[in-house]
Structure 1
Amino acid sequence: MPEDNTLLERDGVRLTVDDSVAYVTLCNPAKRNAQSPALWRALTEAGRLVPGQVRIVVLRGEGISFSAGLDRQAFTPEGFDGEPSFLDLARGSEAELDAVITEYQEAFTWWRRTDIITVAAVQGHAIGAGFQLALACDLRICADDAQFAMREPSLGLVPDLTGTKPLVELLGYARALELCATGRFVHAEEAGRTGLANLVVPAAELGAAVADLTAALLAAPRDAVNETKSLLRGALTRTEPQQYAAERAAQGRRLRDLAGLGE
């Protein structure tokens, strides 16, 4: 892993593992952890490199901001070194553009795997792609200086990095629409009050709060937590009979395991 992690750090991501907990750190504080296609590929690779014994993945950003969003260099004619600019991508076919965005989205989807619980530790700005990355995680702990904003519509774009579904699930359609259409900032107090953040703490206590939550999440048996996460994630899309059946099946697996009858 050290060699691969060196490659990740080159693109702004650091992966460290401490037994059952992995830490994925955005490590370009000089640019407020602005995002790029290279960073998204590094995030996707970090997900592949997380060892099987890991139960909790903590996502955090170095410096004063979690992530200030997409690096605006993507919209310049020159783009990034070795990368097509977004303007060039727009000139390609619909199929090509769809394939590229699908690849970008992979950096945001693996956080929802049912074999891990993911926690975003957010301080400072989480804007646009940064907001969507925080939304990709199961849980969010915020410093009291955290500010969220979905700026894409204000720039003539849409949030396309898988953030729209969790935003509606957390806040409801009307509030999600208002936040996206206006692009306004949601400060930590509102994030905590509306359920966008699970917990808001003083900035100096963010690391300790993450450690406390991580310890609490590790207290229950892994398989029971993973089965419960799967049930909860599917609850909004299943019918009531389907959800009841899923609960019965999951509980059957748990009881057989406790009785020593598992596979």
Structure 2
Amino acid sequence: MTSEELAEIGLRFEVGGEIATITLDRPDKRNAQTFATWSALARIGRTLPEHVRVVVVRGEGPSFSAGIDLRMFTTKGLPGQGSFASVAALDGETFLARITEAQQGFLWLRRPDIVSIAVVQGHAIGAGFQLALSCDLRILADDAKFCMKEAALGLVPDLTGTKPLVELVGVAKAVEICLTARTVGAEEALRLGLAERVVPRERLDEAVGELAAALLTTDRAAAAATKRLLLGAADRTLEEQSAAERAEQAERLRALFGAKGAARRDGSAQS
């Protein structure tokens, strides 16, 4: 998508070296999300340049994202996008396809070949909370506030946020957070494991820059292999995880010390 098309939706996408930055850019709407937001995020994922290793997701203005644009609950909905009522009227397969497309905007942020970082200030409500949960890591300003609002609106969280929430805080705490729709402040989020770091708001850029730089110091193929192991660990037995480790290490050792790897090292030494 062109920068102009993204701007109309309320997004910015910038690539600098191995770091890509996605900015929710509707500060007047507290970066509320729409059907178009989710489709655009999915397209960004499908066309992400191969050399990108770190993806930073952030929001312009006082809030990361206030969640769903409330106009989607009205009869008229959003111009050119419809409403929840119009989506609910679709036939079964088409309806599920719309949700699947929206979910794709969040799922790709977990890909093994990249590390995604959510940079959260102010409110991250509902879809905003789920977008932050879709990222591998979260850096929060000290004024950040998480809230899973869907149940209070008669909905369920369906933008892939329930699994990471349970993995991070456990089932009981996830139930309490979702079914009370209460606010989780930055310090509590840090204690619960929902954030890797909390910093004063004026230090957010510095903190994410430090983290991104540190992530780029590791070997790219080794980092991707390690992330694959970590992503699959919860669903494997110890024996299965040990076998996965062996398989990944065998691939790494062949790449580094096999014939092709030796040729690359010799060429580097001679150059």
For Structure 1 versus Structure 2, the TM-score category normalised by the shorter chain is over 0.9
* 8 Å CA contact 2:42, 2:101 repeated in 1: no
- DSSP-derived class of the 1:22 partner: strand
Separation of aligned partners in 1, 2:92 and 2:80: 22
Moved more, 91-100 or 122-131: 91-100
Q: TM-score, normalised by structure 1?
A: 0.96
- DSSP-derived class of the 1:14 partner: strand
Quote the RMSD (CA, aligned, Å): 1.2
Tell me the equivalent position of 2:177: 179
Tell me the equivalent position of 2:26: 28
Q: How does 1:117-196 map to 2 (within 5 A)?
A: 117-196=115-194
Separation of aligned partners in 1, 2:162 and 2:43: 23
Please list the CA deviations of residues 120-172 of structure 1 after superposition, one character each: whole Å capped at 9, or x if unmatched.
00000000000000000000000000000000001111000000000000110
Structure number with larger C-alpha Rg = 2
Tell me the equivalent position of 1:94: 92
Which of 235, 238, 244 matches 1:240?
A: 238
Which of 215, 219, 241 matches 2:217?
A: 219
Alpha-carbon distance, 1:109 to partner: 0.7
Q: How many residues align?
A: 261
Separation of aligned partners in 2, 1:47 and 1:83: 21
The sequence identity of aligned pairs, in percent, is 55
Separation of aligned partners in 1, 2:176 and 2:42: 30
* 8 Å CA contact 1:8, 1:46 repeated in 2: no
Q: How does 1:61-72 map to 2 (within 5 A)?
A: 61-72=59-70
Please list the CA deviations of residues 92-134 of structure 1 after superposition, one character each: whole Å capped at 9, or x if unmatched.
3332221111111111111011110000000000000000000
State yes or no: 1:231 paired with 2:229.
yes
Tell me the equivalent position of 1:106: 104
Separation of aligned partners in 2, 1:262 and 1:197: 41
- In structure 1, list runs of 5 or more residues that go unmatched: none
Cα–Cα, structure 1 residues 147 and 176, in superposed 2: closer, same or farther, change >3 Å? same
Alpha-carbon distance, 1:215 to partner: 0.6
Separation of aligned partners in 2, 1:32 and 1:234: 35
Tell me the equivalent position of 1:58: 56
Please list the CA deviations of residues 11-34 of structure 1 after superposition, one character each: whole Å capped at 9, or x if unmatched.
111110111100011111111100
Moved more, 140-149 or 98-107: 98-107
Letter in 1 for 2:237: T
Alpha-carbon distance, 1:79 to partner: 0.7
Alpha-carbon distance, 1:260 to partner: 4.2
* 8 Å CA contact 1:69, 1:129 repeated in 2: yes
Cα–Cα, structure 1 residues 261 and 143, in superposed 2: closer, same or farther, change >3 Å? farther
Q: TM-score, normalised by structure 2?
A: 0.94
Separation of aligned partners in 1, 2:111 and 2:146: 24
Please list the CA deviations of residues 47-78 of structure 1 after superposition, one character each: whole Å capped at 9, or x if unmatched.
22321111000000000000000001001111
- In structure 2, list runs of 5 or more residues that go unmatched: 262-271
Letter in 2 for 1:241: E
Cα–Cα, structure 1 residues 69 and 262, in superposed 2: closer, same or farther, change >3 Å? farther
